Chains A and B, each alone.
Chain A
C-alpha cells in the first residue's frame, strides 16, 4: 500500500517540533496563499514556501512527487478540460473543432498548479505531524466550541481510535482473505458483479470482528475509568514556542508580499 497522504515520517526537525495547532493554522494560511495568487510569476512564492518547509522538515524531495501521484488522473483531466472549454480570444492552435486559446492555456496551468501545490502542502503537514499530535491539536482548536455543546474531545478520540485501528483491520482482512483463499475462493476472475460478490466472505467476517473489537475496546476503556473529556488532563500539554512564532511570521510575510505585489504591480503575467 502506498498512501502518501496521511503517512507520518517520524523526525525531530524544526517543522516536526512545531505545535500541531500552528501547523493546522499555517496550512490554512498556505491554502489562502495558493488561492490568492492571480499571476503566473507569483506562483513561485507558494512553491518556494512549500519547498522550504520540505527542506526544513528533512523530507526527501521525492515525497513532493509521491503526493501528486494519487491525483495524476484528476490532474490531467482538469488540465485538458480547462484547456479546451475556456472561452478566449487569442487562438494559439486550432484543428477541426479543437481550439486552444491563450486564456484556456493560462486557466489550465493555473488549475493544475493550484492542485499540485494544495496536495503537496496538505501531505507536508501529515508527513511531519503524528496522527496523535494532529488530533490533539484539533481537539484544542475545537475546544472553544464546547460552549455550544460541540463534542470536541469525543471527535478527537474517535479520530485517534480510527487511525489506530487501520493497520489492525488491514492485517485482519489479510488473514480472512487467506482463509477464504484456502477454501478455494476466487477474487480475481469474473466480471465486476462477480468480483463484488466474491468480497462478501471477506467483508462480513471483517465487520463482525470490527464490532467485536469496538465492544472490547469500549469495555477496556471503561474499566480504566474513561468517561469522556470531562475533567480529563493531558500528559503532554501543547505549548506555543518561539519556533511557532517564527513560522507564523514567515508565513505572514509570504502572504503579505503576495497581497502587496498584486495590489501595487498591475499587469503581472
Chain B
C-alpha cells in the first residue's frame, strides 16, 4: 500500500496574526519502492510537506494515509514512525549516545525489538553505510569525522528498516565524494530492500539520474509532478523559479540553438553521450 496525501494544507500560527500557509491543497501518492525527489525554492514548503509523512506535523486540512493508517490517529503513530524513516537536514546533530552502536540501536529499541534483532539490525545498518563494525561500533559518535558522523546518523534511521525513507537534503555540506557515497548507498538500499525513497534535494544532476518522479513545489503548491525527463523539459519555467537545470540539459539546449536536433527528454550525461555517439556513427 502506498502513502496517500489527500488535499493536504498546512498553516502555521493558524487563526492568529502572521498566519502562514506553508502547504496548500496538495495531493500526491507515493508508491512503494519508488524514488521521489522534491524540489523547490527555499521556503516553498518542502520540509513542512515531508514532516507530514510520519505525523511530526499534522494537516490543518486534508489527510495523510500511510499504508491506510491516518497520521492523526495517536494509536497508530508509533507504527507509522517505524514505517516511515526520516532523515533530517544535518542529521549528525542528533547523535547523543556514548557509542556509535548504542546510538544506532536507539530507533530499533524504541520499536521494542528483541536484543538479538536490534544487534543484527545495527550491524546490518553499519555495513550498509560503509562503517566497519569492528572499528566504529564502540567509538564515541563525537570523535568521528563529519562524513562519518553523517553516515552513523543515517545508519540510526536505516536500522529501523523503514518501508519509506524520507531524506531532507541528505547531502548538504558534503564533498562530491561524500555525496556520491550517500547516493550510491540509497540506490543499493532500494534495490536490496525495495524501500521507497523520498528525497528533498537541490542537486539537479543527482535527481535527474536517480529519481523516478520529481515533485516541483512553488509557494506551497504543486507545480510539476512527473518524470525527470518531462519536468526538465520545462526549462524556461524552472529557471524563472531559480532552479537550475542539469548540465546535460543545458548542453543539449545550446546544441539545439546550433541546430543539432537533440531530443527534449535527455537530462543525464550518459543519455546525452549515447545520443551524440549514435549520431556520429553512420
* A residues lining the B interface (CB < 8 Å): 175-176, 178-186, 200-201, 204-205, 208-209
Interface of A is mostly: helix
* B residues lining the A interface (CB < 8 Å): 51, 54, 56, 78, 81-82, 85-86, 88, 91, 93-97, 106-107, 110-111, 142, 156-157, 160
Q: How far is the CA of A180 from the CA of B88 in the complex (A)?
A: 10
Q: How far is the CA of A186 from the CA of B56 in the complex (A)?
A: 13
State whether A184 and B160 are in contact (beta carbons under 8 Å apart), knowing that A178-B51, A178-B56, A201-B106 are contacts in the complex.
yes
Q: B95 — which chain A residues lie within 8 A by C-beta? A: 205
Give 15 A-B contacts (CB < 8 Å), ordered by A residue.
A175-B88, A180-B106, A182-B56, A182-B85, A182-B86, A182-B157, A183-B106, A183-B156, A183-B157, A184-B81, A184-B107, A184-B160, A185-B106, A186-B78, A201-B94
CB distance from B245 to the nearest CB of A (A): 32
In the complex, the answer to whether B51 meets A181 with C-beta atoms within 8 Å is no
Closest 5 CB pairs of A and B: A184-B110, A182-B86, A204-B96, A183-B107, A179-B94
Q: How many A-B residue pairs lie within 8 Å, measured between CB atoms?
A: 55
In the complex, the answer to whether B156 meets A209 with C-beta atoms within 8 Å is no
Q: B157 — which chain A residues lie within 8 A by C-beta? A: 182-183
Q: Can you name the residue of chain A whose Cβ is closest to the Cβ of B55?
A: A181
In the complex, the answer to whether A176 meets B93 with C-beta atoms within 8 Å is yes
Q: How far is the CA of A49 from the CA of B94 in the complex (A)?
A: 50
Q: Can you name the residue of chain B whose Cβ is closest to the Cβ of A212?
A: B93
Q: B93 — which chain A residues lie within 8 A by C-beta? A: 175-176, 179, 205, 208-209
State whether A179 and B110 are in contact (beta carbons under 8 Å apart), knowing that A205-B94, A205-B96, A208-B142 are contacts in the complex.
no
CB distance from A209 to the nearest CB of B (A): 6
In the complex, the answer to whether A183 meets B96 with C-beta atoms within 8 Å is no
Q: How far is the CA of A175 from the CA of B89 in the complex (A)?
A: 10
Q: B51 — which chain A residues lie within 8 A by C-beta? A: 178
Q: How far is the CA of A186 from the CA of B93 in the complex (A)?
A: 19
CB distance from B58 to the nearest CB of A (A): 13
Given contacts A175-B88, A205-B95, 4 further A-B contacts (CB under 8 A): A176-B94, A185-B106, A201-B97, A204-B96
Q: How far is the CA of A178 from the CA of B86 in the complex (A)?
A: 10
Q: A183 — which chain B residues lie within 8 A by C-beta? A: 81, 94, 106-107, 110, 156-157, 160
CB distance from A261 to the nearest CB of B (A): 45
Q: B91 — which chain A residues lie within 8 A by C-beta? A: 179
CB distance from B111 to the nearest CB of A (A): 6
CB distance from A188 to the nearest CB of B (A): 10
Q: How far is the CA of A176 from the CA of B91 in the complex (A)?
A: 9
State whether A184 and B78 are in contact (beta carbons under 8 Å apart), knowing that A178-B88, A201-B106 are contacts in the complex.
yes
Q: A185 — which chain B residues lie within 8 A by C-beta? A: 106, 110
Q: A182 — which chain B residues lie within 8 A by C-beta? A: 54, 56, 81, 85-86, 88, 157
Q: A208 — which chain B residues lie within 8 A by C-beta? A: 93, 142
Q: How far is the CA of A181 from the CA of B74 in the complex (A)?
A: 13
In the complex, the answer to whether A181 meets B106 with C-beta atoms within 8 Å is no
CB distance from B22 to the nearest CB of A (A): 15
Q: B54 — which chain A residues lie within 8 A by C-beta? A: 182
Q: How far is the CA of A178 from the CA of B106 in the complex (A)?
A: 14
State whether A181 and B96 are in contact (beta carbons under 8 Å apart), knowing that A175-B88, A201-B106 are contacts in the complex.
no
Q: B85 — which chain A residues lie within 8 A by C-beta? A: 182
Q: How far is the CA of A78 from the CA of B271 in the complex (A)?
A: 79
CB-contact partner of A186 in B96, B97, B110, B160, under 8 A: B110
Q: How far is the CA of A142 from the CA of B86 in the complex (A)?
A: 50
Q: B110 — which chain A residues lie within 8 A by C-beta? A: 183-186
Q: A184 — which chain B residues lie within 8 A by C-beta? A: 78, 81-82, 107, 110-111, 160
Q: B82 — which chain A residues lie within 8 A by C-beta? A: 184
CB distance from A205 to the nearest CB of B (A): 5
CB distance from B141 to the nearest CB of A (A): 10
Q: How far is the CA of A89 from the CA of B237 in the complex (A)?
A: 87
